[in-house]
């Protein structure tokens, strides 16, 4: 979803719901699609407001997993899209256009091997200047932000219950599972296994 604006999310949700009704998609596919929309919305809030709340993302995903009917799921998604619209509609943009664009790029490509130099090039800035500007505006360096973006996505994968922890590590850009566990604990405050058991 380009730019992941709440209005676009609403339109995407309506199309997805119509498609799911027409094609009788399985509950797992429907849930995966809705989880993806929610993840995009959370990333949009991060890019606009600077708020990065993993616990909030976790809470929403856990609630999604407990929904039993298609109607309940549709109402839940509509309610949260409206809330996201209110948040982003009333919040001033925290970042300069270059940094906002770089954050969106990181969020979209965080599972790939993306370097500081590569992202700086996407916003036409010298990598040293970009590094300084990013840290000044975001409050953390590029690598820390990239790792947090990956861990947010890892939390969603773990909450889905569909993947092993080694699969989650690979899917979120970590080739070393021990390093993944180390970064996960640094960001979330507990190990991936502890996080999974708590859900």
Q: Give the model's pLDDT for residue 1.
A: 41
Q: Which of 9-18, 95-104, 156-165 has the lowest mean pLDDT?
A: 9-18
Euclidean distance between CA atoms 152 and 42, whole angstroms: 10
Distances (CA, A) of 134 to 27, 110, 112, 122, 167: 40, 16, 20, 13, 30
Greater confidence (177 vs 73) lies with 177
Q: Which of 40, 59, 55 is nearest to 2 (CA)?
A: 40
Q: Give the model's pLDDT for residue 60.
A: 72
Domains of the chain (ranges; CATH) run 2-90 (no CATH), 97-198 (1.10.10.60)
Q: Give the model's pLDDT for residue 16.
A: 60
Assess whether pLDDT exceeds 50 at residue 43: yes
Q: pTM of the entire structure?
A: 0.64
pLDDT tens digits along 83-139 = 666 665 544 557 899 998 999 899 889 999 999 999 999 999 999 999 999 999 988
List Cβ neighbours of 16 (8 Å cut-off, separation of 6 or more): 30, 33, 34, 37
Q: Give the model's pLDDT for residue 21.
A: 56
């Amino acid at each position: 979803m380009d730019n992941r604006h709440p209005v676009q999310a609403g339109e995407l949700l309506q199309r997805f719901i119509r498609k799911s009704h027409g094609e009788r998609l399985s509950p797992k596919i429907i849930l995966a699609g809705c989880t993806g929309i929610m993840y995009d919305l959370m990333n949009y809030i991060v890019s606009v407001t600077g708020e990065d709340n993993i616990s909030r993302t976790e809470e929403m995903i856990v609630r999604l997993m407990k929904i039993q009917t298609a109607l309940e799921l549709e109402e839940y998604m509509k309610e949260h899209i409206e809330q996201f619209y209110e948040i982003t509609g009333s919040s001033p943009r925290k970042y300069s256009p270059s940094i906002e664009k770089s954050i969106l790029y990181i969020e979209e490509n965080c599972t790939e091997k993306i370097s500081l130099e590569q992202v700086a090039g996407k916003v036409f800035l010298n990598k040293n200047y970009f590094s300084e500007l990013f840290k000044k505006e975001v409050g953390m360096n590029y690598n820390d932000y990239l790792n947090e973006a990956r861990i947010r996505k890892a939390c969603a994968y773990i909450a889905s219950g569909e993947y092993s922890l080694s699969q989650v590590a690979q899917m979120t850009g970590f080739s070393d599972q021990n390093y993944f566990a180390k970064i996960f604990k640094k960001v979330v405050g507990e190990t991936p296994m502890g996080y999974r058991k708590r859900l």
